[in-house]
Structure formats: structure tokens, C-alpha cells
Structure 1
Amino acid sequence: MTEAELLAQPANAYMNAEQQAFFRDLLLRQREALQARIADEFDALREQEPSSDPADIGCAEERCHWQLRVLEREKKLLDKIDAALDAIARGEYGWCAETGEPIGLPRLLLRPTTTLSIEAKERQEQREKHQRNA
């Protein structure tokens, strides 16, 4: 199924077996690509050669810290992908964790790991903003 075919389905077909299979495949492809990037980053970290020049050492350490931050972010995304795949297996994928309402196909296409509808996400951001300002 293509994105166009997915979006052309009627509203009452929301999260039917075909749509769940589409998102499962999408998430699995994203997971595979992410795992390859993580492996490449680890390989780059392992291949760094030590240097005796203090300037080179400082640059290497900064590059190492940057790569570790990237790996941490990608690990968090991998966890979100796994959680989304689990939600598909449980039949809970595509439904807002806060309201129980449909998240919507366009939003899921843009961010397949989301657990909140746009409205719920906006409310969450407002609460966070309010807490920061308090």
C-alpha cells in the first residue's frame, strides 16, 4: 500500500489490518536504517586513532562527545520505534494515549512514533511552558 492509497481509505477504515501492516512495515524500515546508522557511529568511534598533539586530542574528544550525543538520541528514537511496534502488536497503535481518539493518518505519516494527537500534544506543550514559567 502506498501513502496515497492509505490516505484515500475511508475514515471508518482507520487502523484496519492493512493500515497497521503499512505502519508496521514503515517502522521496521526506519528501525533497520536507524540500527545501521548506530552501527556506523560505533564503528567511527572505534576507528578513532589516538594522537599526541594536545589540539588533536581536544578535537577528537569533542568529536567523540558529539558522536555519543547522536547515539543517545538515536537510541531514544529506537526505543520509541520499538514502543510503536509493541502498540501495533497490542492493537493500540494510532490512538491518542491521552484521549483515546484517533491520532490521524497524516500525523502518523509525519511522525510514526507519536502517541498523542495534535490537540493533546499542544496541551502537553502548554503545560510544559507554564511549568517552565512558574
Structure 2
Amino acid sequence: MALSPEAMRLLAMPEDDYMNDEQLAFFRRRLLAEQAEVEAHLKEVRDAIGAHQQGGDEFDRAAIEEETRLLLRQADRETRLLRKIAQALRRIDEGDYGYCEETGLPIGLERLLLRPTATLCLEAKERQEQREHHFSKSRGDQ
């Protein structure tokens, strides 16, 4: 991933300057831009779902149903992402953004640049994934 000059400048800041006003402003802008992008795409998906015409032969209807199912899954994922973005913006407002909700430790600029909605530091995320893997294994999903 190529980093913008602004992102490079943030990464060059001292660790004790973590989540300063400039960093918070950067992530707020980035989250707002992503929110606008996702909302626009979600509108396109909803319009596409609404535009599907019923009719035609059995194969046409099956293709339309499959495409609609995929569009609904996409809309669901994007709706969840919008909720995560709203939560991240709220954490910025409350002064909690950039800190792990499990440990309270910094999530890290590198991780936030890749996933600005992250709520867990890398170690906590790995523990969560191990618990999920263990749970799915014990259920026989694997």
C-alpha cells in the first residue's frame, strides 16, 4: 500500500505524540471520506436491487434472484461498515479513538492506516481470532 505524504508524516511523529490533534483530524477526514464513498455505493446497490424486473423465463428469474441475493449481501456488509465508521467517529469525539477496547493500549498508526475502524490492537485481534477458530473447531465447523 502506497502511503500519502500526510500518512508518512504521521508515522514519523514520536510515539509519545500518539493520537494528537493532527492525527485525529487525519483519521476523521479519512473516515468521513470513506463514509461518503460507502453511502454512495450503497445507494447504487439499493437502486440496482430496485431496478430488477421480475419476468422472463425460469432461467432469467433465477439469475435475477441470484444477483439480488448477492446485492443484498453486499448491502448488508456495507451497512455494517457504515456502523463501524460511525462508531469510530464517535470514539474520536469521545477521545477513545486509536486505543484498544480490550487492553486500552494504542492500536498503532500502521494498523489504523490499514483499517481505520479497528477497535483492537493486533495482539487482542489475534487472541479474538484464536478464540473464534477454537470455538468453530469445537463446534465441528472445520
Q: Which residue of 1 aligns with 2:19?
A: 15
Structure 2 residue runs without a partner (length 5+): none
Q: Which residue of 1 aligns with 2:31?
A: 27
Consecutive aligned runs of 4 or more in structure 1 exceeding 4 Å deviation: none
Aligned partner of residue 105 in structure 2, secondary structure = coil
Q: Which residue of 1 aligns with 2:45?
A: 41
- Equivalent position to 2:116, from 112, 117, 128: 112
Measured in 2, the distance between the counterparts of 1:114 and 1:74 equals 16
Identity of matched residues, %: 48
Question: What is the TM-score normalised by the length of structure 2?
Answer: 0.91
Letter paired with 2:24: Q
Measured in 2, the distance between the counterparts of 1:38 and 1:67 equals 10
The answer to whether 1:83 aligns with 2:87 is yes
Structure 1 residue runs without a partner (length 5+): none
Letter paired with 2:119: T
Q: Which residue of 2 aligns with 1:64?
A: 68
Q: Map Cα deviations across residues 100-129 of structure 1 (whole Å, 9 max, x no partner).
A: 000000000000001000000011111112
CA RMSD of aligned residues (A): 1.0
Measured in 1, the distance between the counterparts of 2:20 and 2:77 equals 31
- Equivalent position to 2:134, from 106, 130, 133: 130
Letter paired with 2:10: L
Q: How far off its partner does 1:51 sit?
A: 1.8
